[in-house]
């Protein structure tokens, strides 16, 4: 698309004429005032916020090519549910590991005691 050099009037904030895609994406995807949340700003019953988040997901690969990957570590954009699921899984795994370790301890301890007695 051709970059238009907008007339510089009383509000010279038209944005740079030639800008790289990363700069634009960073602003039009992530910024601008967001009217969402309590109001159902919806297209076909989808909350706007949902559209935004899905839009991010969809554009990860392409935007990465443009040099943007901030959302990968942005807590607001990584699902909290997913994170707590990971934490839960971690906790569960730790507990299972502990259980296994204590069981092997129990098993090896008597064996060692037996060997002691044998010698």
Residues that bind other proteins (CB under 8 A): 1, 4, 6-9, 11-16, 19, 21-35, 39, 41-46, 48, 50-52, 54-55, 57-59, 61-70, 73-74
- By beta-carbon proximity to other proteins, the closer residue of 38 and 115 is 38
Segment holding 46, helix H or strand E = strand 46-47
- By beta-carbon proximity to other proteins, the closer residue of 15 and 101 is 15
Kindly give, in sequence order, each residue whose CB lies less than 8 Å from that of residue 77, ignoring residues fewer than 6 positions away: 53, 56, 71
Alpha helices, H only, the chain: 21-28, 48-65, 80-118
Kindly give, in sequence order, each residue whose CB lies less than 8 Å from that of residue 22, ignoring residues fewer than 6 positions away: 63, 66, 67, 68
- By beta-carbon proximity to other proteins, the closer residue of 79 and 108 is 79
Q: Please, what is the minimum distance in Å from the beta carbon of residue 44 to other proteins? A: 5
Q: Please, what is the minimum distance in Å from the beta carbon of residue 32 to other proteins? A: 4
């Amino acid at each position: 698309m051709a970059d238009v050099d907008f007339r510089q009037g009383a509000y010279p904030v038209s944005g740079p004429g030639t800008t790289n895609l990363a700069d634009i994406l960073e602003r039009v995807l992530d910024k601008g005032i967001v009217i969402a949340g309590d109001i159902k700003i919806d297209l076909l019953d989808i909350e706007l916020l949902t559209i935004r988040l899905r839009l991010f997901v969809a554009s990860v690969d392409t935007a990465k090519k443009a040099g943007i990957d901030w959302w990968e570590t942005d807590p607001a954009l990584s699902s909290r549910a997913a994170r707590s699921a990971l934490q839960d899984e971690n906790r569960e795994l730790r507990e299972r590991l502990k259980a296994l370790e204590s069981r092997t301890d129990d098993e090896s301890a008597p064996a060692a005691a037996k060997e002691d007695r044998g010698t």
